[in-house]
Structure 1
Amino acid sequence: MAYIDLENLTKDYGQDRGVFDISLSIEQGETFGLVGINGAGKTTTIRQMMGFIKPSSGQAFINGNDCQKNSARIKQFVSYVPGEINFPADKTGETFLKRQIEKAGRGSWERCKEICERLQLDYTAGLKTMSKGMKQKTALAAAFCLGSDVLILDEPSTGLDPLMRDVFIDLIKEEKKLGHTVFLSSHIFEEIEQTCDRVAMIKDGRIIDQLTMNDLLHSKDKTYKLEFKTQESFQQFQALDYTFTDVKEEDLQLKININDQDINRLMDDLQHYDVLFFKEIKRNFEDYFTNVFKEEVNHV
């Protein structure tokens, strides 16, 4: 059994709302991303993993513990950041954070203060007066300071500015180095791309695709953009046996899709044509997401 194992997890609210037959296997030490548009089912999936929602069918396990039957046991080694932050009636962030460390029975106040400093969080501020960003930082400090084996994070960088998102990415990478397991729901492409080993795409409550990030970013299938100096070179080159896309006659530009094993042949062929520029189009997760969800993106 994988460290986190979701087996046909279903929560059916009726009228095709909820999540359906979610099956995912996450290994110990892996950082796994769950990505989709708003309302796709990310939070419903995570709440079932935390034991907050009872599935209609299917099961979820973390380190062999049934997420419904053993939810109290799971919380002894899991840190969780919810998508909506609601704090108890503690007066200050410091009071709340110290209480979380005390209740968990792990972590340290020194580590917590270090994280607060990196996040530029004034933990002496009153919880009621905190901005959304400050509340998010407080929740992150509470999660990361405990040294938990598993972190389950639901849209954890919402409300953070770009600089603080970089700090958040560093914190995730540090957890990876410690061998901790991270399950991350996010709509921030950069943090998914920089931290996740694998990603699942969820749409209308169903997993529609999974990918390994390394395979995406370092694929042997490449795309190059070319522009030619003359109409003659542009037209003659297209007669060769390559796969062309985005051909722009007026600009003498085109893109070519090619595998690394054929790149030497391409270089040899290009010597016979007047080429103005030749540039690799780097693949990234945002492009992949946009392609998978192109219908939804076009309606935004």
Structure 2
Amino acid sequence: MPVIEVKHVTKDYGHGRGIFDVSFKIEEGEVFGFLGPNGAGKTTTIRHLMGFTKAQEGELYINGKDSWKSAAIIKHDVGYLPGELAFPKGMSGDQFIEFMAEERQMTDMTRTEELKEIFELDTSEEIKEMSLGTKRKLAVVTAFMHNPKVLILDEPTSGLDPIMQERFIQFILNEKAEGKTILLSSHIFSEVDATCDRIAIIKDGVVVSTIEAKQLKQSTNKAFKIEFASFNDYQKFLANTELVITIERPNQNQVKLNLTDEKMQHLFAELSEVNVNFISEIKFTLEDYFMDFYDREKTVAEGEENLHGGLY
């Protein structure tokens, strides 16, 4: 049985807003990335999983428990880090941690102190006086302090400085090594790429792709940038090529191509007919894969010249 399961969930707020037939499963010990820009539907999905909102259609489960019917149990057991922070008024950091410890019936605060040290968190300050980064660190500590086996993290590094972002990524990797099951919602490619086993891309409330991270790293697709020795060589290549290319910099005689291994020989045969200054391989990244879904229409709409009907 999956630890987290979302089955055909729809919440339609009208005017194209909401989530639509969203489905995914997260197995025990897996870090699952939920990738998309703000407004794509990540937080809406997570709020349904945590039992804050009831789905119009579909079902959601954590550890086999219905997210809506068993919301109180889920909130107690799961480590939840919301994207938008809201703390009780009039509390210091110490008082909020004490409040959360009582809610979870915690008596051993050893792990809490360790987390405060890891994230360099001073909890003596009044929450209302804290910076956004300090508030985020307080939320991180309270999400992990009871050592939950399941973690649901919505934009967890938002507001953290680069050093703390890197520290958080290393912390997640340590939690992963201990067998924790983690849903990590983010729009930051580096933290998803560094931590996740599988990644779902959500666009306009619809999951448009789910892929294993190792598939991206082992992709047989290769992207190349080519600069030609002269404008004549550049024009000759464009006139005769059968490959799908993107004009990189027309005034600098550059193009980009995305090729499988089978097309490599074809490329070099075509290049043998012209003179080039350089050809360099561009590493295929999670961002490239993501932009295949998010940037294609934008690129065409902006009028970027694109030969043979494709993008690199």
- TM category (shorter chain) comes to 0.7 to 0.9
* Corresponding position of 2:247: 246
1:118-169 deviations in Å (ceiling 9; x for gaps): 3222122222321221111000011123221111111221211111111111
Q: Does 1:181 align with 2:187?
A: no
Instruction: Decide whether the 8 Å contact of 2:119 with 2:164 is kept in 1.
Output: yes
Q: Does 1:120 align with 2:120?
A: yes
In 2 relative to 1, CA 250–156 (structure 1 residues): closer, same or farther, beyond 3 Å?
A: closer
| 1:121 aligned counterpart, secondary structure | coil
Q: Does 1:194 align with 2:194?
A: yes
What amino acid is aligned across from residue 68 of structure 1 in structure 2? W
* Corresponding position of 2:170: 170
- 1:279 deviates by 1.4
- 1:73 deviates by 2.8
* Corresponding position of 1:257: 258
CA–CA distance in structure 1, aligned partners of residues 241 and 20 of structure 2: 47
CA–CA distance in structure 2, aligned partners of residues 98 and 72 of structure 1: 19
* Corresponding position of 1:101: 101
Unaligned regions of 5+ residues in structure 2, if any? 303-312
Instruction: Decide whether the 8 Å contact of 1:226 with 1:253 is kept in 2.
Output: yes
- 1:58 deviates by 1.1
Instruction: Decide whether the 8 Å contact of 2:79 with 2:151 is kept in 1.
Output: yes
- 1:37 deviates by 2.8
**1:38-187 alignment, distance < 5 Å:** 38-89=38-89, 91-105=91-105, 108-187=108-187
Q: How many residues align?
A: 299
- 1:232 deviates by 6.6
What amino acid is aligned across from residue 287 of structure 1 in structure 2? D
| 2:279 aligned counterpart, secondary structure | strand
* Corresponding position of 1:23: 23
In 2 relative to 1, CA 292–242 (structure 1 residues): closer, same or farther, beyond 3 Å?
A: closer
The worse-fitting range, judged by mean Cα deviation, of 57-66 and 15-24 is 15-24
* Corresponding position of 1:34: 34
Instruction: Decide whether the 8 Å contact of 2:226 with 2:254 is kept in 1.
Output: yes
Instruction: Decide whether the 8 Å contact of 2:221 with 2:284 is kept in 1.
Output: no
What amino acid is aligned across from residue 260 of structure 1 in structure 2? D
- 1:83 deviates by 1.8
In 2 relative to 1, CA 258–286 (structure 1 residues): closer, same or farther, beyond 3 Å?
A: closer
Instruction: Decide whether the 8 Å contact of 1:7 with 1:23 is kept in 2.
Output: yes
In 2 relative to 1, CA 231–42 (structure 1 residues): closer, same or farther, beyond 3 Å?
A: closer
* Corresponding position of 2:204: 204
CA–CA distance in structure 2, aligned partners of residues 107 and 13 of structure 1: 42
Instruction: Decide whether the 8 Å contact of 1:223 with 1:256 is kept in 2.
Output: yes
* Corresponding position of 1:213: 213
* Corresponding position of 1:285: 286
| 1:287 aligned counterpart, secondary structure | helix
| 2:133 aligned counterpart, secondary structure | helix
In 2 relative to 1, CA 63–98 (structure 1 residues): closer, same or farther, beyond 3 Å?
A: same
| 1:210 aligned counterpart, secondary structure | strand
- 1:52 deviates by 1.3
The worse-fitting range, judged by mean Cα deviation, of 274-283 and 61-70 is 274-283
What amino acid is aligned across from residue 195 of structure 1 in structure 2? T
CA–CA distance in structure 2, aligned partners of residues 241 and 255 of structure 1: 14
Instruction: Decide whether the 8 Å contact of 1:5 with 1:61 is kept in 2.
Output: yes
CA–CA distance in structure 1, aligned partners of residues 89 and 7 of structure 2: 37
The worse-fitting range, judged by mean Cα deviation, of 154-163 and 95-104 is 95-104
What amino acid is aligned across from residue 285 of structure 1 in structure 2? L
CA–CA distance in structure 2, aligned partners of residues 203 and 247 of structure 1: 26
CA–CA distance in structure 2, aligned partners of residues 39 and 249 of structure 1: 35
- 1:88 deviates by 2.6
Instruction: Decide whether the 8 Å contact of 1:101 with 1:108 is kept in 2.
Output: no
What amino acid is aligned across from residue 44 of structure 1 in structure 2? T
- 1:198 deviates by 2.0
Instruction: Decide whether the 8 Å contact of 1:7 with 1:59 is kept in 2.
Output: yes
Instruction: Decide whether the 8 Å contact of 1:54 with 1:68 is kept in 2.
Output: yes
- 1:278 deviates by 2.4
In 2 relative to 1, CA 209–76 (structure 1 residues): closer, same or farther, beyond 3 Å?
A: same
CA–CA distance in structure 2, aligned partners of residues 242 and 206 of structure 1: 32
CA–CA distance in structure 2, aligned partners of residues 107 and 167 of structure 1: 27
